[in-house]
């Protein structure tokens, strides 16, 4: 019986956002966390990972090691600063050239597989995988056709070029990794993906970092009143993530319940991103307009350990996004024992399970009523807290990595088996080009 191909080295592509960046700033978010956490765990299992990303700072080294067995390669593609995500399609050729040069310096067949993240990376991954004759595994993270169907008021739709690019990657990939069953259906229904190529692999949570802890101690370290009602938003500040929904709901709540004005704290942890970069002070201005500036605390992005403190310090974590493929913030908060109030969109119903409250739509009155119902019911919050911890315990980066390895191996086996019908090269030559031992081909 032929041996099963082994994954030895993976080229991980993240064109538009670097694993070296602080999540919550610019375009850095859950994708960054995903790439870093999975790469570290792959390396612990003896698999070398090289993460290719675009250099955005001339002071950065061309490559660096972020964990044993995990190297980041900063590829020069366009000016280091001044380019937004919308400008990056014009730099994909330059980025691809950098990736190809890195591979050319290696022995033939160095990479066993390409795993690309987001459609820009998928475009480069498509070329690299084809050139190296290895499988392409692609994770969308977000999709234009999904976002455009659920736009926030005043937000700009994703351009047609992105939709076309995504469709091309969907067609080219050997396997497509979806965060949830719902997302797998969107790949099939909206992009015509072959259901046989789609695999569901849920993201994980660092269950050693995000844990239940002392609420009073967390509030003390963050400078929060011990007797406050703390509502928390964590994420990039842009219309898609809808932090304005929380502020408007807070103002509506305080209009009905002025008794809460001196106890309520609304913390927004994150930085401007995407279309929010054009109005970096929009939330400050909105807080003043709504007469809740005294209740709102705008906090720059924080490191992961401090983020865990914020989760523990909160009574409720809110995720009012218009679109989320999963909702990592929701599961991280639940792992810390904090119930979540979330919009019933995308992957959020799956992410929060029974550990929170789902709200249909983004109407201020609905959000205000939902928040009030939980703030007035400590027994229910305690029940949701227990459920949240139990639900979050089902997610871990180790489990995510287990499943991804299954997808990687499946892709290698399928690629090796396809060589039987290859008429361009003898079997032995084709196997060598693809980095797969000929012995695995029946």
For the segment 234-244, what is each residue's pLDDT rounded down to a tens digit?
998 989 999 99
> pLDDT-derived band of residue 341, with 50, 70 and 90 as boundaries?
very high
Closest CA relative to residue 274, chosen from 36, 13, 53, 24: 24
Neighbours of 327 (CB within 10 A): 27
For residues 135 and 411, is the Cβ–Cβ distance under 8 A? yes
Residue 340 has pLDDT above 60, yes or no: yes
Are 252 and 365 in contact, with CB atoms under 8 Å apart?
yes
The pLDDT mean for the chain works out to 91
Cβ of 189: how many Cβ atoms within 10 Å? 10
Q: What is the pLDDT of residue 442?
A: 33
**Tokens read off for 323:** 């679109």
- Nearest of 99, 121, 165 to residue 18 by alpha carbon: 121
Please state the rounded mean pLDDT for residues 164-186: 97
End-to-end CA distance of the chain: 8
DSSP 3-state assignment of 356? strand
Check residue 143 and give left, alpha or beta (phi > 0: left; psi -120 to 50: alpha): beta
282/130 Cα distance (integer angstroms): 45
pLDDT at 425 over 50: no
What is the three-class DSSP state of 100?
A: helix
pTM reported for the whole predicted model: 0.89
Is the CA virtual torsion 77, 82, 83, 84 positive or negative?
positive
Question: pLDDT band for position 58 (50/70/90)?
Answer: confident
d(CA 415, CA 335): 38
For the stretch 81-104, pLDDT in tens is 878 888 999 999 999 999 999 999
Contact, 298 vs 289, CB < 8 A? no
DSSP letter assigned to residue 152: P
Helix residue ranges per DSSP H, 267-345: 282-289, 304-313, 328-335
Q: Which pLDDT score, from 0 to 100, does residue 2 have?
A: 63
Pairwise pLDDT comparison (38 vs 274), residue with the higher score: 38
- Contact yes or no for 145/190 (Cβ under 8 A): yes
């Amino acid at each position: 019986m032929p041996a099963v191909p082994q994954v030895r080295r993976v080229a991980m592509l993240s064109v538009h956002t670097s694993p070296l960046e602080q999540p919550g700033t610019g375009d850095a978010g859950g994708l960054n966390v995903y790439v870093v956490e999975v790469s570290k765990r792959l390396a612990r299992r003896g698999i070398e990972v090289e993460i290719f990303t675009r250099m955005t700072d001339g002071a950065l080294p061309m490559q660096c090691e972020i964990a044993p067995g995990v190297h980041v390669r900063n590829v020069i593609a366009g000016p280091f600063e001044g380019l937004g995500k919308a400008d990056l399609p014009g730099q994909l050729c330059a980025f691809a050239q950098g990736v190809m040069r890195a591979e050319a310096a290696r022995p033939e067949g160095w990479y066993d597989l390409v795993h690309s993240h987001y459609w820009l990376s998928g475009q480069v991954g498509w070329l690299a995988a084809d050139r190296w004759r290895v499988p392409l595994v692609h994770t969308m993270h977000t999709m234009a056709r999904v976002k455009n169907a659920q736009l926030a008021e005043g937000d700009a739709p994703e351009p047609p070029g992105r939709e076309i690019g995504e469709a091309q990657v969907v067609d080219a990939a050997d396997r497509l990794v979806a965060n949830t069953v719902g997302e797998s259906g969107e790949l099939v229904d909206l992009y015509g993906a072959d259901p046989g190529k789609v695999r569901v692999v849920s993201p994980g949570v660092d269950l050693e970092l995000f844990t239940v802890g002392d609420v009073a101690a967390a509030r003390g370290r963050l400078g929060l009143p011990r007797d406050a009602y703390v509502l928390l938003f964590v994420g990039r500040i842009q219309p898609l993530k809808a932090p304005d929904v929380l502020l408007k709901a807070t103002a509506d709540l305080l209009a009905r319940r002025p008794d809460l004005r001196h106890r309520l704290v609304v913390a927004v942890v994150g930085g401007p991103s995407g279309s929010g970069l054009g109005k970096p002070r929009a939330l400050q201005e909105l807080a003043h307009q709504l007469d809740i500036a005294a209740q709102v605390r705008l906090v720059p992005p924080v490191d992961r350990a401090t983020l865990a403190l914020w989760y523990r310090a909160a009574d409720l974590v809110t995720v009012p996004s218009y679109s989320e493929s999963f909702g990592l913030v929701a599961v991280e908060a639940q792992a810390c024992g904090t119930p979540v109030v979330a919009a019933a969109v995308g992957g959020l119903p799956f992410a929060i399970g029974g550990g929170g409250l789902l709200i249909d739509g983004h109407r201020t009155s609905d959000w205000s009523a939902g928040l009030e119902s939980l703030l007035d019911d400590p027994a229910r919050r305690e029940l949701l807290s227990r459920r949240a911890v139990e639900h979050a315990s089902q997610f871990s980066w180790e489990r995510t990595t287990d499943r991804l390895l299954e997808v990687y191996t499946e892709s290698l086996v399928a690629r090796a088996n396809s060589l039987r019908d290859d008429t361009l090269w003898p079997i032995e030559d084709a196997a060598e080009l693809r980095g797969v031992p000929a012995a695995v081909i029946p």
